[in-house]
Structure 1
């Protein structure tokens, strides 16, 4: 899920203003977890109708020709919003945020 700066700022101020317990809070938009390829398809589809030209590539294939050490990446890296949501903050759906952002870019 994508994270938009307006939601990140609102989450930070919410945690501070409500004096939520000290700790680490994950923050992303809410909604469905998607791959980077799915996100790229949504962007290209909205921008120019070329979503079908986006080709997913595995991490292994992407780094196959890389030289030097590669930092390991988790197979599934969606952040857990439950701690943030337990403070009463509900992030907006990232797909709604993306649609609004892309609409503003085209305006």
Structure 2
């Protein structure tokens, strides 16, 4: 993330919002957690996906709405010449 920030500043990129996340395949939060658990402890099968509705089913009071699809768009960073590494390759390292 720091490298992306310094690149945007050094390139005098246009003012705006630049999403910053690993590139590569878009996965659900459960898929990402499963990959992290598998890489760290070899127990990725223990991650159980939970829908947003189920997660907040017993919440008291208002709940902030969650997007159905929350993938970030790296085209802003790429337009100023910065390419984020693939998150799955980085996780392996």
Query: One fold, TM greater than 0.5?
Result: yes
Q: What TM-score do the two structures reach when normalised by structure 2?
A: 0.93
Q: Name the structure 1 match of 2:72.
A: 79
Q: Deviations over 1:30-72 (max 9, x none)?
A: 0011111111111221222211121111000011011111000
Distance (Å, rounded) in 2 between the aligned partners of 1:61 and 1:19? 45
Contact 2:39 2:91 in 1 (8 A): no
Q: Aligned partners of 1:24 and 1:36: how far apart in 2?
A: 23
- Specify the SS of the correspondent of 1:12: helix
Gapped regions of structure 2 (runs ≥ 5):
none
1:5 corresponds in structure 2 to none
Unaligned runs of 5+ in 1: 1-7, 101-107
1:8-87 maps to which residues of 2 (within 5 A)? 8-87=1-80
Residues in 2 aligned to 1:42 and 1:24: alpha-carbon distance in whole angstroms: 28
* Structure 2: distance between partners of 1:99 and 1:66: 36
Structure 1 residue runs of 4+, over 2 Å off?
none
